[in-house]
Structure 1
Amino acid sequence: MEVLYTRAEPILYAVLRAAFGFIMLTHGLPKALETSHGSMADPMAGSINLIQNVMGLPFAPQLAFLVMLLETAGAIMLAIGLWTRPVALIIALEMAGISYALGPTWPWIDRGIEFPVLMGFLALYIAVRGGGRYAADRQFKYAI
């Protein structure tokens, strides 16, 4: 079985990285296309509200725009393995911010914090590990 695991690992890691990128994309596209997402009628307004009123950060519309770019273009880059480490690190920071905004009550039932916490640790793992064998980064001499 060890041979099977060894051969399957790079392929399954690429699938994991791509799946994570596509999951992030499902959060970015509704913001970019100004369409509803689940129970959120206006996801971009929800992001602006979270950044401005919950986190208390200035420049909320501009930061929400950067979040939308990360969750669309960054998600696609992550899925194909382009600039994997920096993109995954920025996603990990975004997930840490979302987890902070949802805490300290850790609302496991209502829009659960477990998802951004898990996604943050997955992004951190991808940032440390890099794109893997089947990533666009491998096409460049110096993978980031």
Structure 2
Amino acid sequence: VPLHQAFYNTRADKAGAVVHLHSCYSTALSLLPCDDITDWLPHLTPYGIMQLGKVRLIPYFIPGSSEIGRTIEGLAGKHAAVMLASHGPVISAKTLEAAVYAAEELEATAKLAYLTRSLEPNILSNEQVQEIVKQYNVEWD
């Protein structure tokens, strides 16, 4: 599948496993307006940042399209996870277990974001995010 292979091609030393889901809340959140496609998932908890880094929103392509893989390869391995708009997340990690845990964290954070969106939730400040990135050696830029 081109989208899986794109992660293996661009994150060879970091992608021992790639998982792709059609999760309810993350897909629902991908249907809503987004302020920053390069950092799609709101910074609501430290765990999403720690396990995922920045999650890039990829535009909609028909499922199975080679454009999905080309778009992911165009990111040059800078993201461990991407969200395919109107489709679902794709997450890479060193092990299958780590990829599954990260996928669960993505869906939990998306659920929180979706459920609290109209309530204007408090998000972590840039300073708090940077502290997490530094403390846990998170891929960020």
* Fold in common (TM above 0.5): no
Which has the larger Rg?
Answer: 1
For normalisation by structure 1, the TM-score amounts to 0.26
The structure whose RCO (Cα within 8 Å, separation 6+) is larger is 2
Q: Which has the higher helix share?
A: 1
